[in-house]
Chains A and B, each alone.
Chain A
Amino acid sequence: MNLTLLGPELVLVLGGLALLLVDLAVPAARRHLLGYATAGGVALLCLYFVANHGAGGAAARAFGGMFVLDGVASFFKAIFLLSGVVVLLLAADSSPRLGGGITEYYALVLFALAGMCLAASANDFSVMYVALELITVTFYVLTSFERSRAASLEAGVKYLILGALSSGFLVYGIALAFGASGTMSFDELAKHSPELASNRLFQLGVLMIFGGLSFKIAVFPFQVWAPDVYEGAPVPTTAFLAIGSKAAGVVLLVRLFGFAVPDLALHWEPLWMTVAGVSILYGSLCAIPQRGLRRLLGYSSIANGGFVMVALSTMSKAGSAAVLFYLAGYLFTVLAAFLVVGVLVHRVGKDDFSVLAGLHHRSPLLAAVLAASMISLAGVPPLAGFFGKFVVLRAVVEQGAASHAYFWLAAVAIVGVVISFWYYFGVIRAMYWGGDAPDLTPIPISPTLRGAMILCLGGILCLGVFPSAIWEAAVAAVAGLGI
Chain B
Amino acid sequence: MESILFLIFAAFALGCGLMTVANPFSRSPVASALFLVLTMVWLAGLFVLLHAYFIAAVQILVYAGAVMVLFLFVIMLLDLREEELRTWNRFGVAAGVFSVVALLGVTALTILRSVPAAGAAPQLEGSTHALGAMLFRQYLLPFEGVSIVLLVAMIGVILLSKRESK
Q: List residues of chain A with CB under 8 Å of any chain B CB.
A: 13, 20, 63-64, 66-67, 99-101, 104, 107-108, 111, 114-115, 118, 124, 126-127, 129-131, 133-134, 137-138, 140-141, 144-145, 147-148
Q: Which residues of B contact A64 (CB under 8 A)?
A: 138
Q: Which residues of B contact A124 (CB under 8 A)?
A: 142
Query: Most chain-B CB neighbours within 10 Å: which of A115, A126, A130, A133?
Result: A130
Q: Which residues of A contact B160 (CB under 8 A)?
A: 141, 144, 147
By secondary structure, the A interface counts as helix
Closest to A145 in B: B159
Q: What's the Cα separation between A193 and B140 when bound, in Å?
A: 26
User: Can you list 6 A-B pairs, Cβ within 8 angstroms, ordered by A?
Assistant: A66-B141, A100-B165, A104-B155, A108-B155, A134-B148, A141-B159
Query: Is residue B145 within 8 Å, beta carbon to beta carbon, of the partner chain?
Result: yes
Q: What's the Cα separation between A147 and B162 when bound, in Å?
A: 9
**How many pairs, one residue from A and one from B, have CB atoms within 8 Å of each other in the complex?**
65
Q: Which of A66, A101, A118, A137 is within 8 Å of B159, CB to CB?
A: A101
Query: Is residue B84 within 8 Å, beta carbon to beta carbon, of the partner chain?
Result: no
Q: Which of B142, B153, B156 is within 8 Å of A130, CB to CB?
A: B142
Q: Which of A99, A104, A127, A138 is within 8 Å of B145, CB to CB?
A: A127
Q: List residues of chain B with CB under 8 Å of any chain A CB.
A: 138-142, 145-146, 148-149, 151-153, 155-156, 159-160, 162, 164-166
Q: What's the Cα separation between A138 and B152 when bound, in Å?
A: 6
A373 to chain B, nearest CB (A): 31
B134 to chain A, nearest CB (A): 11
Closest to B157 in A: A141
Q: What's the Cα separation between A100 and B158 when bound, in Å?
A: 12
16 additional A-B pairs beyond A100-B165, A130-B145, A130-B146, beta carbons within 8 Å, are: A13-B148, A64-B138, A99-B166, A100-B162, A104-B155, A107-B155, A118-B145, A131-B145, A133-B146, A134-B145, A138-B156, A141-B155, A141-B159, A147-B160, A147-B164, A148-B164
A134 near B164 (CB under 8 angstroms)?
no
Query: Most chain-A CB neighbours within 10 Å: which of B145, B153, B164, B165?
Result: B145
B59 to chain A, nearest CB (A): 21
B152 near A134 (CB under 8 angstroms)?
yes
A99 near B164 (CB under 8 angstroms)?
yes
Q: Which of A20, A107, A126 is within 8 Å of B142, CB to CB?
A: A126
A63 near B148 (CB under 8 angstroms)?
no
A137 near B152 (CB under 8 angstroms)?
yes
Closest to B145 in A: A130
